Structure 1
Amino acid sequence: MLVAQYNPGQKDLSLKTDYPVPTPPPGKVLLKVAACGVCHSDIAFIDGSVLPHPLVLGHEISGYVVATGEGVDSSVQKDVLYAVLSIHPASQSFHGLPALFDSPGAAYDGGFSNYVVVRQDQLVPVPKGVSPELAAVAADAGINAFKFVRRSAGRTVLVIGVGGLGHQAVQIAAHFGATVYACDPKPEAREIALKLGATEAFTPAELEAKVKAGFAVEVAMDFVARKPTFEMAKAALRQNGLAFPTNPVLVVAGMTSETLEFSTLDTLTYNLTITTPQYGSKEDLEAILDLYAKGAVTPVVSSRPLEDINKVLDDLRSGVVLGRTVVVPKNV
């Protein structure tokens, strides 16, 4: 089968056509990959040589069961499209790394391939009408956007970074009744945000000027997680006490290696809570898939052949990707 393999210290993934198709062990299933999303965490793994060993990347997976290991029960069906819960609540640390890395494409071979082995309890059936490409995106970008945004019903929300997660956060927040503002340097991203439910969309310079003039929000979601965006999110929330009766919340949802700083003046003086989405549960994945099925949330997704994975990764690095890109393996 074809795979795209990460090797520590190498920027490009190695495309291998002679990788053996695995046999599922007890309690696990073999999925024929229908689509696999390409995520900024894949970039972090590659460019930071975070993982200590070669393996097949890809953790946003959808597919069909083609074989089952011993002990897999009859509820698993071979004609059903499944999304894969990347990080299960039972996840354990792996090689000294956090439980985050006990997932496909981090601890073991992932979905940049024709086939992947996962646990039975990671499978979530995909509702009718949801494509394999959308189902794959739900498994990480969707669930992370949904995990915290759903708590923002009726609040005033700022989404910084209208990318693979951010553009879904705009839709989810608007669906649950929030007043949504967005910030992104790309005109195309701002246009998408407005189409998806944002009241206004700013450039970083425009947002800075608005905050200096008194602009305030109750929740800021930083999907970039760089020092300038983190500081801007805090600044918008410091105004909160003058405009809103609720406590301000900053959700840091981007994955970078930068060190972001705050002081107790931020958290105590302004009663600011700083948190992360921390992935989600099976119920969260089911919920975002249901929103997709109902058309309440429509991710912006483009697909490319798996053979184009290195070009897709370069596009993601350079910031030209709008929404989310998934790779689709050829049928074998």
Structure 2
Amino acid sequence: MSKDLTHSSVERQNILNNRFALEAIAKSLDVEGMLFEGEYRFTKQMVADFYDVDVSTIDRYLSIYAEELKYNGYILSKGKQLKEFKLQFAHLINEASKTTQIGLFNFRAFLNIGMLLTNSEKAKQVRSLMLDIVISCINDKVGGGTKYINRRDVNYLPAAITEENYRKVFTSAISMCVGGHPNYKYSQITDLIYKAIFRENAKEYREILKLNLKDNVRHTLYAEVLLVISSFENGVGTQIKCVYRKRGNKQLSIDEVGKIVDQLANAPSQQPYLNDARKKMASRDLGFRDVYHGNIAEYLQAISPEEFERFIGSESIDFDKILEDNKDVLKRLKQAEDE
């Protein structure tokens, strides 16, 4: 999808929270700052010169986007800190000796303001470079496409196993207690649940993620989302059985199951879990897969630095390698289950 960093604070923060992308951007830009207190700093004049704008323009953006730029590392240096800074870099900065405070950008804030400047051709070029590097960086980290980036989370496999176990209980309830086509009724009810949780049915989800018919939708879902589905399906399955028994083992229709799904989706006890699942899916799919879920767009938020570590950093795992290393064990478990 086409991205405009000048309009989206979430997409700006997704880049600034991704240390792997920042390292690659720093190498590509090769800008020279002043190493102070462990990070490179830039004065307003240096930033203005780089982006070919007036210092007054930088001041205007600092006023409009003060909170965001401060969050990403812009500081007003004063007191003892300013004294130390002047001792080291007085020869590089054009400031009066009696100046009591100096605005300083770190590299994150330096990029941040470049994402905001709309009338700078240089800033526009930097934004384009950033977007290219971010896509390349994530793909390099996961070894290609991001379809299964969810499986790099160490929590994915336990969640997938849990979901599979609850899924069997759920499908058993449908088999025994729900009327309809013996094959289609499972997908019909699954769609009702997907619609309740994500406001998308399986077909819509497939189209958004560009999945083919052989791809299992659940294999692309994040661990927390799988657990919410497990909880939801368990609740629906339990209620289906309850209604089935109360009316003398008479099967429910698909419409009746739909009412059960709607009741559970609107239950106050479910709202924190559904909201969290929507946030995870909307935000991570945009940040990692460049996929936009319009129906849950209001749940979008920036991916945290910790999440980048979890999915593409030091905490991520090579799921396919784990499966390969343990294929004999998994094969024996499958044989035991079938016996």
TM beyond 0.5: no
TM-score normalised by L of structure 1: 0.28
TM (normalized to structure 2)? Answer: 0.28
Which one has the largest radius of gyration?
2
Give the structure with the larger strand fraction: 1
- Which structure has more helix as a fraction of its residues? 2
